[in-house]
Structure 1
Amino acid sequence: MTVFTSPHTDRELVGRDARIRPVTELASRLRKELEGDVLFDEASRGRYSTDASIYQVTPFGVVIPRHQRDLALAVDIARDAGVPVLPRGGGTSQCGQTVGEALVIDVSRSLNGVIEFDPDARTVVVEPGIVLDHLNAWLKPHGLWYPVDVSTSAQCTLGGMAGNNSCGSRSIHYGNMVHNVLGVDVLMADGGEARFGFVDELTAGSRESRIAEAVRRIAEREQQRIREHYPKLTRRVAGYNLDIFDCQNPLPYDSDGRANLAHLLIGSEGSLAVTQRITLKLSPLPEHKVLGVVNFPTFYQAMDMTQHIVTLAPTAVELVDRTMIELALENPSFRPVIETALIGRPDAVLLVEFAGPDREALIRDLARLNELMGELGLPGSVVDMAEAKSQKALWDVRKAGLNIMMSMKGNGKPVSFIEDCAVPLEHLAAYTDRLTEVFHRHGTEGTWYAHASVGTLHVRPILDMRSGGAEKMRAIAEEAAALVREYKGAYSGEHGDGICRGEWVAWQFGDAINDAFREVKGLFDPDNLMNPGKIVDTPKMDDNRLFRFPTEYQTIPLTPVLDWSPWNVTRDPLTGEQSAPGTGVDTTGGLASAVEMCNNNGHCRKFDAGTMCPSYRITRDEKHLTRGRANTLRLVLSGQLGREGLAGDEVKEALDLCVSCKGCKRDCPTGVDMARIKIEARAARVARDGVALRERLVADLPRMAPTLKRLAPITRLVDGLPWLARPLKRYLGLAEARELPLVTDNYLARASSLQTQASSSQGDAAGGKTELPEVVLFVDTFNNYMEGTNAEAAHRVLEAAGYRVILSRGADKRPLCCGRTYLSAGQVDRARAEAERTLATLMPYVERGAAVVGLEPSCLLTMRDEFLGYGLGEPARKLAEACLLFEEFLVREQEAGRLALALKPLPQPKALLHGHCHQKAFDALRPVEKVLSWIPGLEVETINSSCCGMAGSFGYEREHYEASIQMAEAALLPAVRSAGEALIVADGTSCRHQIKDGTEREAEHVVQLLSRALA
């Protein structure tokens, strides 16, 4: 057997040529014997070469097992080939635990079930791939939850949490992962199965019993050193938990002091065995919660007073520092939430939570907190939040803390390597103060947030890892380690060891205990095939060969078609000032830097709410995930993948199911805008291959619409003759099940009297006056030629509200167009030309203060978004500020006291609302809900849906039809089918078509309801 040892140990690395044949044979056997996916192509291996750390190590291949038999077979086949295995869940590890030269086994897609549940005993047995939020949603009806509530709960798996010994915001009350695990079923390195639990329950003479006895002997031999070197803190997760046998352990893992061998595997990072199932200890759901947000004028005060706040027995005390506050205020999703928690401009805030069965007692706890802060010299510093919805919103901002921090543009990023050091609370203020001085000595600043309650603060110095960052990282780590030792803290307090802290295990525990760890590793994994290079025999944290961005990193030369300069900046870590880009790193004009905004934290893997990411929701495939796409693009732009740049097949395949929903633009806390990046990729493909017939037909729809109107009878005839329609649709690449949209109207043309008014108002633009306030109604292609009644209804409502409506055409007398159809076809030059034509027509009204109001979200919001990427300067910015969706305009006018709109009840008492993806991306769905609430007696329910799946032409394309329907069936179509007699409301043209095709129900634009409700 040829053993492929880790290249990061002291042993010889087998040459690449020697590996090719065995790895090829490995892939062949895996494909033959497994039912799950086996991925050995370069792009897939590249997507799994990273996690949320700064490291990148390409695996030999990837297996996605379909069931437990696949998992066992994969381990057996890899062992026979001498190839290491690396189990992986959500891939959200921040220290490099889930990257390595190994066969990666991704358990998140299929091994995610609940196996056993005992509500009386409060235990549950789960597979390792289940996501924490999914488990807690499953447990909620039973009044129970798994309380290790980490910030990545929407995407992290229980197997990964066990591997890292995760902790969470409420560990001060519930403990860490190791305190809440009762047993673990595993596959050993030799293929055998084992179940580890309480040592006194192990069968005498069994394999598990023999291992337990061997580990006990090691622990007893090193008992004195364990007592001396293991930090006396709850938050210490480094090494192996050899202290499980120490009856004098001040932090017992089980309440009755019984030794549990499963706890040895918790925090082992997959280096001992592969997890099959985990038995978890559950807790009752808190009946009530209250939150006090304490505002501090200085960061030091926040740290110093934490030790006093914890005496009130809160369930959580979480820090948000000034940097995170400012970044949250810049995010449209977080700004309204964080503003409610602030008193003036605090330098830091602490989120102090109390939970329990008695709400009145919790209110008294809040009062005690207020009293305490007054006694400490900060009276009136607490914002009380007793309402559950506002608490959840603020906790969501805190949970997004890491990604908010990573939203800084430019090469300098907050880097994870000392972020989880834990110190006793009495030293917390001094530690943070002195560590800040360390940062300043090295010319940088740190960002602070997280678990003040247990002395673990996530701190990330801002470093440019492509320009001197590695040297600073090493120097800062050494000085931080000295401080941790001085304050008797733990160097690794939450996120594990991995690569960035693995070498510090020996420093923390000493050589003798480190040798004991190596003995434990040998008991479980004598051939070093279980995630080698973790915990023991680890690489150096600053080994340049392992970095995702090595010092020689440089992008391929590329001239983008859009303006990416806002991303092509450098930021002074101390002052925050931005300057011109650095030297020769990003040669794509900022496009690569925009791609690199993805920090791999996997927030896009969520399923619970929001839009992102519809293609991943139906495939659960890393390739069709925002993170997977970003990694593909990063590898391509850096010359590590493919030879054709953005025009290559790797990019085309990764973006194939991207519906340009812009969900990532809003839901991704770092603002990765994959829809905009896709425009670049499509343009590159078109520049090389030209535009196909189907894409030309879509792109030219606005220009062809008048002709298509005349041909409507023929189109209707063709659709009614299947023997003719099917071959025609096949030829054009269209889905046979779709009816072709008909161009049957031309609202601007038939509203001739209004057109005369519009012409005279264009004369007004030169300086004329009007008594009524003006508003420009932007009538897009779809609501002009296909559903002109919507434009007509909007016109009627605006006039009834007291506005003079302007319907403008371009100087060439053609209707204005946002150019989105050209963008979807990669014809950016033609889209830019439409933007220039639109700007020339609308700017006189904009300069005069008129709003530009649109009905179709994708069209109107193109002027707010894509127009800014054409390099059209100040006019584009002004137009973007003037552009409002119909409902946004009404809400703005109503809040300003300028709207006079009398409405009457409708016959239907209820409306079911589906939000267009772009409405959600621009936080424009709430105005829709508010406007509908103005209709007397109308109950409005918003469907918790992602993308409808139509996405313009996407749902019409033959190869995408099934994916389109799956996206709709995830939530939207079932909700519509069960809506009864309720009105169905959707502003998006594509959304309405999808609803009609999938349910035979007619959905309406909001303007239709308002028009019928006019008093």
Structure 2
Amino acid sequence: MTSLKDNARPRDARVKPVTDLAARLSRELQGEVLFDNASRGRYSTDASIYQVMPVGVVIPRDQHDLKLTLDIARDARVPVLARGAGTSQCGQTVGEAVVIDNSRWLNQIVEFDAEARTVVVEPGIVLDHLNAWLKPHGLWYPVDVSTSAQCTLGGMAGNNSCGSRSIRYGNMVHNVLGIDAWLADGSEGSFGFVDELPATGRVRELAEGVKAIAVGVAPDIREHFPKVLRRVGGYNLDIFHCQNPKPYDAEGRVNLAHLLVGSEGTLAVSRRIKLKLSPLPEHKVLGVVNFPTFYQAMDVTQHIVTLDPSAVELVDRTMIELSLENPSFRPVIEKALIGKPEAILLVEFAGADCDAQLASLASLNELLAELGLPGCVVDMPEPAEQKALWNVRKAGLNIMMSMKGDGKPVSFIEDCAVPLEHLAEYTDKLTEVFHRHGTEGTWYAHASVGTLHVRPILDMRRGGAEKMREIAEQASALVREYKGAYSGEHGDGLCRGEWVAWQFGSTLNDAFKEVKRRFDPDNLLNPGKIVDTPKMDEERYFRFSSDYRRIPLSPVFDWSPWDVKRDPLTGEQSAPGTGGDVTHGLAMAVEMCNNNGHCRKFDAGTMCPSYRITRDEQHLTRGRANTLRLALSGQLDGEGLASDDVKEALDLCVSCKGCKRDCPTGVDMAKFKIEARTARAKAKGLSLRDRLVGEMPRYAPWASRFSGLLSAAERMPFFSRRVKQALGLAEQRDFPKFRGNFLAEHQGQAAQASREVLLFVDTFNNYMESENARAAKRVLERAGYQVHLNVKPGERPLCCGRTYLSSGQFDKAKAEARRSLDHLMPFVERGVSIVGLEPSCLLSLRDEFLQYGFGEAAQRLAESALLFEEFLVKAHDAGELPLELKPVGHARALLHGHCHQKAFDALRPVERVLAWIPELEVVTIESSCCGMAGSFGYEAEHYDASQKMAELSLLPTIREAGDDAVLVADGTSCRHQIRDGSGREAMHVARLLEQALA
């Protein structure tokens, strides 16, 4: 494990030169220059098992910045490493170099020719964003990798990425027409068809030199380059000898840009990339083939491809089971299953003629019946169903990595590719290899081209490295036996670089070294990749090595469910908390982040709102998880969760819980933030603002009683401004309005009825917007329920404790939770539902309450706790909701979902309830967090960020809405943000239902 602290010690002879380098870069660049320990740590990993601390990080603002960075680093003789989203799985984008992050600014579309079907892009553009821009033109870039929502075209070119539909469209190299790049000597080169290159110049010189090398080793190219489509190892010297089944260029022309594709940034740094586009398929159908055995799935693939599908993708039993455990994926995967298959194949047909695709789907069913598997296909002709299932498949890596405990599926042989006729036998023998080493493999991905992402489950802290080496050697023997490729998709990097010589032989390996020397004589471009690479199991590069240690800590939540041991062969897990030292459950939960970067998406889902407005790795779920991991393993300043680095990384986290739902490995940054805030409060103390936020439930009755005085103070600008400044509150915000006390007014007023419900009225809906509680009570009583309230005579109202959690006062939050639990359990025991109005409060009963250590009682409460609209839907479906509703005078209801509603899949019940109102169209706003997030939007230092989050989509959509639209938002913070940002009022769904009561 390379320590950040080691790199920063004065005895390091590089400190002074590195300091000078950082100073010069900061002085001359417009972009960001990050040489601090935490920033370097966040860029020390990618989606691989490796961690290497970079010299520093540069985020260039424009192409001039990129050129300056290369020039300054070359003058200092410091290596550089260009990187996009950092999703590489073999360690290509980690190294002891200046990391250049192109993803934030160098992401523009430069040229587009619809008629020629070409586009020129900068390297930092994300694939999904490019395809969204191309869609209106009926075109797309068809190398559709599973990380399409976050990966960049520059990274894809560097890795020679492939994608699910390579059987039809080929790999990246087949779809790149040209690359403009900076060379190691500082010159600019345009790489394209050799017959179009200038007669003189650096690029012509390189073309002639590489051709001479290739001609010299032509027999070895013919002998040792694998004859499979999925071959991405080494350098593409076969551009001069088209040996692959699918030539790089359809006309057989030599394109020097194809040498850079797959070179992993070791030969040049891309400026612009010219891409070949394809017509967007008008119609797609999907057949999901269910197999009783894994072997059958592999054996049948060679027959399925004869039907000319556009994709054939595998999902194995392990991935099926893990998908069923994910609330987001469960309903999708269930529709694809027939019984309990050991594996399924996703077979897609695509083209311009819908009837032709349906005929192909029918042919698939007939073929399987002929092969002895009748009735094993689930037909999915509808686009929505297909998209949902493809999204599950795309999340395959993250789903696999969602296993709890230290044993994880490890990537090192996952991209071996073999001819289809050997696929079943190869997978069978490789499974035997795993079993000999006491483990099992997880399988998914590209059956159509013989590339299966197989990952044996290993614990890299305890003997994993030794098993990794042994399995790799035995797997490579199988690859050679079946004349396959050891690197079939994800490149070489640190993981497979040492296998380049094994795959291609010493002569070709020497030729690769000569190519590298001609392009980069001083070895300054991503050194240690493809040629002169370290061993794959060189422990100093491992993120989790045998000397990896977690610092002692006492987390406040119960994290024992993450501290488990898993038997790799049987899949059985130990009981929670028995896997090791239970104090490490928190660290193990943090380590669930596999760095795949799924959180970098910002055009769908909820996470991560702070990244969407900053594009900053520090304010990304992955970046925060890396910061926490480094802190919890003692690799930062030694203060652990209380450190300044952790505080800064979590500063813009709005605790939206979008990651809890959207992250396939279940990283819950909101809960990590509670741990960090609590640790920080214990170490540094609380501010007055923190205390005011936390104690709101206690002083709210007094504030409500003297609301007139508070309103008068608000109307005194000088006084109000000084108070806000003293407290660190945004001057643009009004103070919260305390008005009324619903629980005090309605205590003991429960009307008798045959059915009971307890209305859990939170602080906000009790003292600030009591009209919501009144509306909910009236609706429930009209439905025939006796409504109990969360208060006892002479006692404070029950409270979920969320304000204490958000301000770092964990002990007080837990005490409030205990008080609520004790009061509510008698109701729970007699089957009474606990119904809440404020999502963040009620859902605490289903989330944080389960990690206080309250045992079975908390679980039973969680099962009884429902949001208002969830309860109504449940009662309606049970035939226990005799409500008669009338129109409310609005044509549309524009619905904004609270982040926690989305995280717990609780927004659909709101949509259903609103749909009961006659003559009302329900439109859900596609948005992330509103930006208010409790007290976050009130804090002076966060006001601008809060507004930017709201302006992403929420506020613009509301401003465009007509007067006929009623705005619905269940969250108190959401309603306040909507009012402040648009001047319009939003209402809780309970109030709209009250208006609709006949």
Relative to the length of structure 2, the TM-score reads: 0.98
Is 2:544 aligned against 1:545? Answer: no
Answer whether contact 2:35 2:57 (CA < 8 A) is retained: yes
Q: How does 1:117-266 map to 2 (within 5 A)?
A: 117-247=112-242, 249-266=244-261
TM superposition shift of 1:802 = 2.1
After superposing the two structures, state which structure 1 stretch, 527-536 or 806-815, moved more. Answer: 806-815
Q: Which amino acid aligns with 2:809?
A: Q
TM superposition shift of 1:143 = 0.6
Q: How does 1:364-443 map to 2 (within 5 A)?
A: 364-443=359-438
Q: How does 1:629-708 map to 2 (within 5 A)?
A: 629-708=624-703
In structure 1, the residue corresponding to 2:349 is in which secondary structure? strand
The equivalent of 1:996 in structure 2 is 979
Is 2:484 aligned against 1:489? Answer: yes
Q: Which amino acid aligns with 2:828?
A: V
Output the CA distance in 2 between the equivalents of 1:397 and 1:933.
29
TM superposition shift of 1:18 = 2.3
The equivalent of 2:27 in structure 1 is 32
Note the alpha carbon deviations across 1:199-242, whole angstroms, 9 max, x for none.
00001112211111111111111111101101111101000000
Is 2:780 aligned against 1:785? Answer: no
Output the CA distance in 1 between the equivalents of 2:779 and 2:51.
57
Q: Which amino acid aligns with 1:757?
A: A
Output the CA distance in 2 between the equivalents of 1:888 and 1:324.
30
The equivalent of 1:761 in structure 2 is none
TM superposition shift of 1:605 = 0.3
Output the CA distance in 2 between the equivalents of 1:122 and 1:589.
54
List gaps (5 residues or longer) in structure 2. 3-8
Answer whether contact 1:423 1:455 (CA < 8 A) is retained: yes
In structure 2, the residue corresponding to 1:1009 is in which secondary structure? helix
> For 1:757, which of 741, 750, 755 is the aligned residue?
750
Answer whether contact 2:242 2:248 (CA < 8 A) is retained: no
Output the CA distance in 1 between the equivalents of 2:243 and 2:678.
67
Answer whether contact 2:405 2:579 (CA < 8 A) is retained: no
The equivalent of 2:925 in structure 1 is 943
> For 1:330, which of 325, 339, 344 is the aligned residue?
325
Q: Size of the alignment, in residue pairs?
A: 990
Note the alpha carbon deviations across 1:781-819, whole angstroms, 9 max, x for none.
111111111011111111222222111314752211000
TM superposition shift of 1:575 = 1.3
Q: Which amino acid aligns with 1:993?
A: H
TM superposition shift of 1:825 = 1.0
After superposing the two structures, state which structure 1 stretch, 64-73 or 739-748, moved more. Answer: 739-748
Answer whether contact 1:554 1:587 (CA < 8 A) is retained: no
TM superposition shift of 1:908 = 0.7
Q: Which amino acid aligns with 1:676?
A: K
Answer whether contact 2:705 2:740 (CA < 8 A) is retained: no
Note the alpha carbon deviations across 1:719-756, whole angstroms, 9 max, x for none.
2121111111000110000001111011111124xx24
Q: Which amino acid aligns with 2:984?
A: R
Output the CA distance in 2 between the equivalents of 1:454 and 1:164.
18
The equivalent of 2:784 in structure 1 is 802
The equivalent of 2:947 in structure 1 is 965
Answer whether contact 1:743 1:785 (CA < 8 A) is retained: yes
Q: Which amino acid aligns with 2:414?
A: E
Answer whether contact 1:810 1:837 (CA < 8 A) is retained: no
List gaps (5 residues or longer) in structure 1. 1-6, 8-13, 759-769
Is 2:439 aligned against 1:456? Answer: no
TM superposition shift of 1:20 = 1.2
After superposing the two structures, state which structure 1 stretch, 715-724 or 659-668, moved more. Answer: 715-724
Q: Which amino acid aligns with 1:992?
A: R
Q: Which amino acid aligns with 2:892?
A: K
With over 3 angstroms needed to count, the CA separation of the structure-2 counterparts of 1:583 and 1:543, relative to structure 1, is farther
Answer whether contact 2:561 2:577 (CA < 8 A) is retained: no
In structure 2, the residue corresponding to 1:578 is in which secondary structure? coil
Note the alpha carbon deviations across 1:95-141, whole angstroms, 9 max, x for none.
00000000000000000000000000000000000000000011111
TM superposition shift of 1:248 = 5.5
Answer whether contact 1:555 1:586 (CA < 8 A) is retained: no
TM superposition shift of 1:589 = 3.4
> For 1:288, which of 283, 288, 291 is the aligned residue?
283
TM superposition shift of 1:247 = 4.8
Answer whether contact 1:555 1:587 (CA < 8 A) is retained: no
Is 2:852 aligned against 1:870? Answer: yes
TM superposition shift of 1:901 = 1.7
In structure 1, the residue corresponding to 2:787 is in which secondary structure? strand
After superposing the two structures, state which structure 1 stretch, 889-898 or 911-920, moved more. Answer: 889-898
Q: Which amino acid aligns with 2:770?
A: G
Output the CA distance in 2 between the equivalents of 1:426 and 1:450.
17
Output the CA distance in 2 between the equivalents of 1:261 and 1:405.
38
Answer whether contact 2:559 2:582 (CA < 8 A) is retained: no
> For 1:728, which of 723, 729, 747 is the aligned residue?
723
With over 3 angstroms needed to count, the CA separation of the structure-2 counterparts of 1:213 and 1:249, relative to structure 1, is farther
The equivalent of 1:1010 in structure 2 is 993
TM superposition shift of 1:580 = 6.0
Note the alpha carbon deviations across 1:448-486, whole angstroms, 9 max, x for none.
000000000000100000000000000000000000000
> For 1:506, which of 476, 479, 501 is the aligned residue?
501
Q: Which amino acid aligns with 2:691?
A: R
Relative to the length of structure 1, the TM-score reads: 0.96
With over 3 angstroms needed to count, the CA separation of the structure-2 counterparts of 1:249 and 1:909, relative to structure 1, is closer
Answer whether contact 2:227 2:243 (CA < 8 A) is retained: no
Q: Which amino acid aligns with 1:334?
A: F
Answer whether contact 2:565 2:578 (CA < 8 A) is retained: no
Answer whether contact 2:311 2:349 (CA < 8 A) is retained: yes
Output the CA distance in 2 between the equivalents of 1:590 and 1:664.
19
The equivalent of 2:6 in structure 1 is none
Output the CA distance in 2 between the equivalents of 1:506 and 1:953.
58
Q: How does 1:108-119 map to 2 (within 5 A)?
A: 108-119=103-114
With over 3 angstroms needed to count, the CA separation of the structure-2 counterparts of 1:248 and 1:403, relative to structure 1, is closer
Answer whether contact 2:550 2:584 (CA < 8 A) is retained: no
TM superposition shift of 1:554 = 1.2
Q: Which amino acid aligns with 1:282?
A: L
TM superposition shift of 1:568 = 0.9
Answer whether contact 2:33 2:59 (CA < 8 A) is retained: yes
With over 3 angstroms needed to count, the CA separation of the structure-2 counterparts of 1:874 and 1:240, relative to structure 1, is same
Output the CA distance in 2 between the equivalents of 1:449 and 1:822.
44
The equivalent of 2:967 in structure 1 is 984
Answer whether contact 1:811 1:841 (CA < 8 A) is retained: no
In structure 2, the residue corresponding to 1:774 is in which secondary structure? strand
The equivalent of 1:883 in structure 2 is 865
The equivalent of 1:921 in structure 2 is 903
Output the CA distance in 2 between the equivalents of 1:297 and 1:115.
50
Output the CA distance in 2 between the equivalents of 1:601 and 1:215.
35
In structure 2, the residue corresponding to 1:928 is in which secondary structure? helix
TM superposition shift of 1:522 = 0.7
Output the CA distance in 2 between the equivalents of 1:248 and 1:439.
33
Output the CA distance in 2 between the equivalents of 1:716 and 1:141.
52
TM superposition shift of 1:15 = 11
In structure 2, the residue corresponding to 1:350 is in which secondary structure? strand
TM superposition shift of 1:585 = 7.5
Output the CA distance in 1 between the equivalents of 2:353 and 2:189.
43
Note the alpha carbon deviations across 1:42-81, whole angstroms, 9 max, x for none.
1100110000000000000000000000000000000000
Identity of matched residues, % = 74
The equivalent of 1:565 in structure 2 is 560
Q: Which amino acid aligns with 1:934?
A: W
Output the CA distance in 1 between the equivalents of 2:878 and 2:308.
46
TM superposition shift of 1:249 = 5.0
